[in-house]
Amino acid sequence: MVDDEFYNRLMTTRHHIHQHPEVSESEYETTDYIKTYLRKLGIVPLDYPLETGVIVEIGSGLLIIALRADIDALPILERTGLDYASTNNAMHACGHDFHQTSLLGAAELLKARESELKGTVRLIFQPAEENFQGAHKVIRAGGLVDVSAIVGYHNNPHLKPGQLGLRSGAIMAGVEQFAVTVEGISAHAARPDLGVDAVLTITTIVNNLQQIVARTVSPFQSAVLSVTHIDVGNTWNVLPAEGFFEGTIRTFDPQVRLAVIDSFEKIVRDTAAQFGAKVSIEWGNSPKVTFNDASITPLIFETAKEYAEVIETLPSTGGEDFAAYQERIPGVFAFVGSNGDENAPDWHHDDFIVKDEALPVAVNYFVQSALALLDYYQEK
């Protein structure tokens, strides 16, 4: 098994990355650091058209299993007081410093047993997860070509180091961001019959939208729809011509997600039409459901019992752009316990802390999952 020297070295590596965070799509130094690190291990970065981020392969053969870690930070001023705190205006407040470090550790261990590998392991150091652009960039660059299955994880401060949370099906929510513009016809407040009232149109739409979760989603499924911002009108005696509202939908099942989006579009358009108003609906570029493949998740679950305390976790209502990979190929996404203290700050807080002791489970998760999946697909 792996010795203390290995994990001490990885810890130092993580502390260095943590001190030098770079926000989404600006991970230039991080990319250089990863490339240099990998070259020292005898692993040559591949020539994919990515401005930031790195893709490498270990092993050989047509069967390819991908491991993915994200590398970007957030524009947050760090207030952890750690002796390896950020030295600039960004912060690894989501723990992506930890993710990439564990993948570097996995690279070293896989490289050491390269001759035994029953295929190819493709390691994807993905940029820009926080703005949900990175997975699409990797896919456009060809990073998923010929890959049979992909493995990723997020650190989870609500689980202890040593624990691994996993479940088949949804593990993180599908996130929808909607913005709707309503166009009516302005009129004097005293002659609404001469106009098309944007205020009444919007408030009726917002009311009607609440039917979706209450009356179209199965009681055995779940969804959340929140309208969070309405902007219409600016005085007491004029009916405004235009208005706007926005909000978010969260779902945990790809079919439910599509059905809710369909109902949303129908209700918005039909309600507006009833008043004679025009609408335009804009959807943000946000991730779909992070959905663990039922055929390979049990295998990862069983394998993980050898190096972690495995917990069947509830899904998180947050989103993850790893979903973009799982839309195309089977994938497994887990939670690696990273803190576990009662008041551990959540992701994206300025005092967010990932504990170093969590590294072994993260490294093992990558290595053992890759080995198990190479076996599984080789025998298929």
Could you tell me the smallest distance in angstroms from the CB atom of residue 366 to Zn ion?
Answer: 16
User: Dihedral of the CA atoms 291, 75, 104, 331 (nearest 10)?
Assistant: 10
State which residue, 277 or 344, has the beta carbon closest to Zn ion. Answer: 344
Size of the site for Zn ion (CB under 5 A): 1
- Tell me which residues in 272-291 interact with Zn ion (CB under 5 A): none
- Tell me which residues in 295-334 interact with Zn ion (CB under 5 A): none
Could you tell me the smallest distance in angstroms from the CB atom of residue 72 to Zn ion?
Answer: 8
Burial of 228 (0-12, 13-18, 19+ CB in 10 A): exposed
Could you tell me the smallest distance in angstroms from the CB atom of residue 335 to Zn ion?
Answer: 11
Residue whose Cβ sits closest to Zn ion: 94
Q: From residue 36 to residue 75, what is the string marking binding to Zn ion with x (rule CB under 5 A)?
A: ----------------------------------------
State which residue, 140 or 348, has the beta carbon closest to Zn ion. Answer: 348
State which residue, 159 or 272, has the beta carbon closest to Zn ion. Answer: 159
Residues 331 and 172: their CA atoms lie apart, in Å, by 13
Residues 295 and 18: their CA atoms lie apart, in Å, by 36
Burial of 24 (0-12, 13-18, 19+ CB in 10 A): buried
- Tell me which residues in 87-116 interact with Zn ion (CB under 5 A): 94
Burial of 190 (0-12, 13-18, 19+ CB in 10 A): exposed
Of the candidates 102, 158, 96, 148, the residue with the CA atom closest to the CA atom of residue 321: 96
State which residue, 94 or 279, has the beta carbon closest to Zn ion. Answer: 94
Angle in degrees, 0-180, between the axes of helices 4-19 and 28-40, rounded to the nearest 10: 160
State which residue, 157 or 195, has the beta carbon closest to Zn ion. Answer: 157
Could you tell me the smallest distance in angstroms from the CB atom of residue 155 to Zn ion?
Answer: 8
Could you tell me the smallest distance in angstroms from the CB atom of residue 79 to Zn ion?
Answer: 17
State which residue, 113 or 348, has the beta carbon closest to Zn ion. Answer: 348
Please name the helix (run of DSSP H) or strand (run of DSSP E) that holds residue 36, with its range, or none.
helix 28-40
State which residue, 55 or 94, has the beta carbon closest to Zn ion. Answer: 94
The first and second tokens of residue 216, run together, are 């179209």
With CB under 5 A as the contact rule, which of the stretches 86-94, 229-237, 298-306, 363-371 interacts with Zn ion? 86-94
DSSP character string of 128-193: -TTTT-HHHHHHHTTTTTTEEEEEEEEEETTS-TTEEEE-SEEEE-EEEEEEEEEE-B-EETT-GG
Could you tell me the smallest distance in angstroms from the CB atom of residue 95 to Zn ion?
Answer: 7
Sites of contact with Zn ion (CB under 5 A): 94
